[in-house]
Structure 1
Amino acid sequence: MTTDLVDLPPRFGMDRPAFDRLGDRPPGDLRVATSVILVRDGAEGIEVFLLQRAAGMAFAAGMSVFPGGGLDDADRAALAEGLVDGGVAQAAATTWGTSAEAAAALLACGVRETYEETGVLLADVPRPPERTRKRLVAREVGLRDVVGRVDAERLRPWARWLTPELMPRRYDTAFFVAAVPDGQEPDGATSEAVGAGWCTPARALREWEDGHRALMPPTWAVLTELSAAPDTATLLAGAADRRPQPVTPSFRPSGERVAIAVPPHAFGSGR
């Protein structure tokens, strides 16, 4: 069966020589990661929290991204150590099409990375002092020392993107959506970012179109879908039942340019 593909905007494509050079190097290892879309209701509709990655970063330098990062060994032990409830992990495994251990790791990683990069703790516990966040970043303490147990209800499934094999740096990224708990405010105080703030998805997309903001295809696609959401409550309610299907962009060479295309479910499906 042939799956129709949707071409992304030409800006995401590349010149043919650059594409040909990708084939001269071995594909990068696929690393599992999470990204958390923090949302709130603003005066003009739903707003998302975006970080601007530092120019010197090895991956996604200068890009506007949602908070997130790769799994570490402590995340992978989340189920075994009781950081994620077994029943919750099994339900999440059904959502993501993976094992309970792997699903628990995604949940733990999402909470940890969000706290490290924004100061927002997605948990039903009082927000700890700033020194606890710094100790977690330095791996002097673990996430279980901070939250006890992950409150998975705060993390709703949204999307899953895989980097194509030709790329030197590859990620299998689970995107979650979450509302900021009452009394907390993200700050973006991370060494990986040089700026951070709230904006509507539509504004972020306009700034990208005007050349004032850099986005990667997954971020652009997520923002495109979010721009149609009426409010945070409706968004989160709908996300609870999503079953994200993997999205792996494809390259479509045509003359001197190579377009990037994705399956239609990249812009909303997952049920």
Structure 2
Amino acid sequence: MTTDLVDLPPRFGMERSAFDKIGSRPAGELRLASTVILVRDAADGAEVFLLERAGEMAFAGGVSVFPGGGLDATDREALTEGLVDDAAADAAATTWATSAEGAAALLACAVRETFEETGVMLADVRPAEGVRERLVAREIGLRDVAERLAVDRLRPWARWITPEGMPRRYDTAFFLTTVPEGQEPDGATTEAVGAGWCAPARALREWEEGRRALMPPTWAVLTELAEAGDSADELLAAASRRRPRPVTPQFRPGDDRVGLAVPPHAFGTSSGAGQ
């Protein structure tokens, strides 16, 4: 291990033959995405909402993930349509090192994906019955659901970028928020076969015991959350101090296996908190 990289657990590696097979495919285009960490207080501390993706999904099948997904065309219109105000877009642009339009798109994507996958709407509106299904089917857009999104509820947590050379790549902004009063996530999406609240430490323990599958970004974020606080308020406060720096895992080829390593700022306060 070099001084400027931290090796991830060996389980995240792969056989050299599988790595060579992946490397023979065309590299995928980098796609922007948003992921939302829903948190709540429970009797034993803070919990997060996790979806178990269906095993037949082309990407991350059978893996536990936070709600989220890639940007679509309507997300990119969030600023011009007034779904995100100028001040919020400008602030987010500084956080995510992008344009106001790009930041507004990330925020809109976070709201839309959370609604589509959990039924939780981060806006001052309670959508009518059937609206969620129509949004998923792209019969309507977010502008048809709400006039203004409650993006002030979204706090930045992390930014992970899929390694170069992979056939499916994402540049993902991780946000953290609590569920608005009177709402409860349900995980009723065709992309998942299960969903529920779980303490970060418990999710990590289940992963260690082989009872839960995780991807490196989710594992790393859960590791940070388990150490960042015992309540939703503590996690929100921690998120308010963060300025996520991009984390791009690097492959570590060996004779028989290929491992993954990340820069130290992928964990804890070294990820840019207070900077």
Place the TM-score, normalised by the shorter chain, in its bin.
over 0.9
Change in Cα spacing, 1:146 to 1:3, as seen in structure 2 (3 Å) is farther
1:168 aligns with 2:167: yes
Query: In structure 2, what residue type is equivalent to 1:118?
Result: T
The equivalent of 1:31 in structure 2 is: 31
- Paired residues, what number? 269
Deviation sequence 1:7-57 (CA, Å, 0-9, x none): 111000111111222321221111111100000011111100000001111
Q: Is the 8 A contact 1:3 1:263 kept in 2?
A: no
**CA distance in structure 1 between the partners assigned to 2:135 and 2:103 by the alignment:** 21
Q: Is the 8 A contact 1:78 1:105 kept in 2?
A: yes
RMSD: 1.2
The equivalent of 1:239 in structure 2 is: 239
43-52 or 125-134, larger mean C-alpha shift: 125-134
**CA distance in structure 2 between the partners assigned to 1:27 and 1:254 by the alignment:** 21
Percent sequence identity over aligned pairs: 73
SS of the residue 2:167 aligns to: coil
The equivalent of 2:202 in structure 1 is: 203
The equivalent of 2:252 in structure 1 is: 252
Q: Structure 2: state its 5+ residue gaps.
A: none
**CA distance in structure 2 between the partners assigned to 1:160 and 1:45 by the alignment:** 25
SS of the residue 1:194 aligns to: strand
The equivalent of 2:183 in structure 1 is: 184
**CA distance in structure 1 between the partners assigned to 2:58 and 2:19 by the alignment:** 19
1:147 aligns with 2:157: no
Could you tell me the TM-score, scaled by structure 1's length?
0.96
**CA distance in structure 1 between the partners assigned to 2:204 and 2:179 by the alignment:** 22
**CA distance in structure 2 between the partners assigned to 1:230 and 1:183 by the alignment:** 23
Q: Is the 8 A contact 1:119 1:133 kept in 2?
A: yes
1:3 to partner: Cα distance: 6.5
Deviation sequence 1:66-89 (CA, Å, 0-9, x none): 000110000011111111111210
The equivalent of 1:99 in structure 2 is: 99
Q: Is the 8 A contact 1:158 1:270 kept in 2?
A: no
Deviation sequence 1:189-234 (CA, Å, 0-9, x none): 0000000000100111111111111000000000000012221111
Q: Structure 1: state its 5+ residue gaps.
A: none
The 5-angstrom pairing of residues 1-271 of structure 1 reads 4-123=4-123, 125-228=124-227, 229-268=229-268, 269-271=271-273
